[in-house]
Amino acid sequence: MKKQVKKAVIPAAGLGTRFLPATKAQPKEMLPIVDTPTIQFIVEEAIASGIEEILIITSGNKRSIEDHFDKSYELEDTLEKKGKKEMLEMVQNISNMVNIHYIRQKEPKGLGHAVLCAKAFINDEPFAVLLGDDIVYTEPGQTTALGQLIDVYNQTGASVVGVQTVAKEDVNKYGIVAPSKTQKSVDGRTYKLSDMIEKPVVEEAPSQMAVLGRYVLNPEIFDLLETQAAGAGNEIQLTDAIKRLMARQQVYAYDFVGRRYDVGDKFGFVQATIDYALRDSSLHEQVENYIKQLVEEK
């Protein structure tokens, strides 16, 4: 009987140098989109996808992530005494979301090494990986991006990577997949893979389908990560290990539905902030009017 995907890994050990000086003393994962830390969006997506236990891979200077998801007795007591029931409930909900565990990646050896740190936590179960730089918005009532991948895993029993099409000039920023030429997609979204290349030059990219921060992986990936040589950036790349996994078992890509934001990029962060503010009923009118005013002034 196929095991269910109930555990997720969120690598959050990066230094966030693209957001200095803001990240000098604060994890980039705690930078807020309007009023919610980016990592909370990731955790909420995992929970909405049926995940029951989460392991966050951290490093030094990341204590505030743990504090955010922990119970805050002093804050809760203050809110209760002031009669701020809605705020109190919101704060309590954050600490009661899900079982969250933490482990430190002691050296910055790359995404593949960060995932390998989760081996004991995952054991022999299939698991999800969600990268904190990628927030995916799905409409209310729509299946989450990770949920879509889990559906494919439930149908195939195979590892699945989440992809979307990117501009040709941007393929060198991502892991790019090569769909099988012999097995065509039945639904136009699910593709059996024949290859993956980490950050290829434009001329050598096998497609424009980029891996965008969502994975469902079989536990056999750990055997490969343990023997994986350093790749791009002299780091242990998850992409390289998944490519080797293809020689042992089928791996699929799924072109997920949803609006993806690269919040590890400054412009992507600004886009997410504007869009989420416009989705907030208490801010929509003010933000919309301000944008119209800016356009008129130009």
Q: In the chain, which residues have pLDDT < 70?
A: 1, 182
Q: Is residue 13 part of a domain?
A: yes
Model-level pTM?
0.90
d(CA 291, CA 294) in angstroms, rounded, equals: 5
Tens digits of residue pLDDT in 120-136: 999 899 999 999 889 99
Overall size of the chain counted in residues:
298
Tokens representing 259? 């609006």
Q: 271 in a domain, yes or no?
A: no
Q: Give domain status of residue 280, yes or no.
A: no
Percent composition of the chain: helix, strand, coil (DSSP 3-state, to 5): 40, 25, 35
Q: Which residues 6+ apart lie within 8 Å of 184 measured at CB?
A: none
Q: What was the pLDDT predicted at 1?
A: 64
pLDDT of residue 15: 79
Q: How many distinct helices (H) and strands (E) make up the chain? A: 11, 13
Structural domain includes residue 260:
yes
Is residue 279 situated within a structural domain?
Answer: no
- Please state, in angstroms and rounded to a whole number, the distance separating the CA atoms of residues 99 and 46: 12
Query: What pLDDT, on the 0 to 100 scale, is given for residue 257?
Result: 94
Domain annotation covers residue 152? yes
DSSP 229: P
The reported pLDDT for the residue numbered 283 is 95
Measured CA to CA, the distance from residue 78 to residue 276 in angstroms comes to: 29
Q: What is the CATH number of the domain that holds 254?
A: 3.90.550.10
Domain residues for 191? 7-264
Q: Is 179 exposed, middle or buried (0-12, 13-18, 19+ CB in 10 A)?
A: buried
In degrees, rounded to 5, the angle at the alpha carbon of residue 40 between the alpha carbons of residues 220 and 155 is 40
The tens digit of pLDDT for each residue in 16-63 reads: 888 889 888 888 999 999 989 999 999 999 999 999 999 999 987 788
Q: Does residue 123 form part of some domain?
A: yes
Sign of CA dihedral 85, 88, 94, 98: negative
Note whether residue 287 is domain-resident: no
The total of structural domains in the chain comes to 1
